[in-house]
Amino acid sequence: MTNPQTCKLNNASMNVLYTMMTLLDKPLTMKDLINAFAKYSPCNNFVISKYINTCRFCKFDIIKYSGKYILRKLPIKISFTQDEEDLITNNLVNNTIKSNSKDLINTMSEFLFKLCRLTSFDANVEHSLNKNPLLSEFEESLYSELMVEIITKDGKSIICSPVELKYIKDNTIFSVFYNDEMKDIPLDKVSSIQKTSRKILTGIIPHTVTFKLMKDLAKRYSTRAHERIINIEADGSIIVSNRSEDKEELMKRLMRYDEKCEIISPKILREEFKTKIDKTLENYSIRS
């Protein structure tokens, strides 16, 4: 007669493998996983979370991004030579981008996502396919001292101070200061953006703070209700958008993360954060 404990362990092992196989297919929400298990071995979210953590313990790189669990890397990899990586980057990826075909870009993106999990290939290549150049230009402008000119698709010119990037549902919003008031411009309404020679307006504090978390903190960080992960970098670092949290409370919390945290925007809070760190370090400086 089979030992009940042995049966329990065997079932748990099979469920861990089923979790891995399910996530290999595509990224899934917890609700998706519960529905998938309903057809195989019904489980609740607490039990499935244990299976996911077991996979992580076995070196499967599983992260949660925009509500979905994503299997980014497998513990065993195939290594590419530099020539092979150049072939993919210079030919496949660049030619796909030049094609301006949304269907081709989506297909190539899915292919590279699967490829990156099985190989040593840089995951940033896959991200580059879907990185809108207008988004990159606006992100750069947040670090600049200059105002920008945004041309909308209906031909309107808006010379403004870039304030922040906002993510509302699936929409990316450029938040700017224009004509003495805040204005939101959806990314899909923008035709072009470029820096001007005019100095940026100062003293505008956005509602959203964007910060970067690194190393082991990025893997174990749980987003708050008013936060979302807006990007995952090749080294596993995550970019978090925090909206509506009290700024003083947020600053205190981020200070506790030490060198594993960096405020990206807004610039005014980034400088304030740096000042707090400098003053803290002064307390430990050697006095003559």
CB atoms within 10 A of CB 53: 13
CB atoms within 10 A of CB 20: 18
Distances (CA, A) of 180 to 44, 160, 239, 277: 51, 10, 30, 33
Total residues found in the chain within this entry? 288
Q: Provide the CATH topology of domain 4-73.
A: Arc Repressor Mutant, subunit A (1.10.10)
Q: Provide the CATH topology of domain 133-199.
A: SH3 type barrels. (2.30.30)
Domain boundaries, the chain: 4-73, 82-129, 133-199, 208-282
- What is the per-residue pLDDT for 99? 66
Distances (CA, A) of 222 to 65, 107, 110, 182, 218: 11, 31, 26, 31, 9
Give the Cα separation of 276 and 274 in Å (integer). Answer: 5
- Its pTM stands at 0.41
- What is the per-residue pLDDT for 129? 44
Give the Cα separation of 93 and 108 in Å (integer). Answer: 8
Tell me the pLDDT of the chain (288 aa) as tens digits: 567 777 777 888 888 888 888 888 788 888 888 898 887 778 888 888 888 888 888 888 887 766 788 887 788 777 777 777 667 766 676 676 666 666 776 677 677 766 766 665 554 444 444 456 788 788 778 767 788 999 999 999 999 988 777 766 557 888 888 887 778 999 889 999 999 998 876 555 556 788 999 988 888 888 876 777 777 777 788 888 887 677 788 888 998 998 899 998 777 788 888 888 888 878 776 554
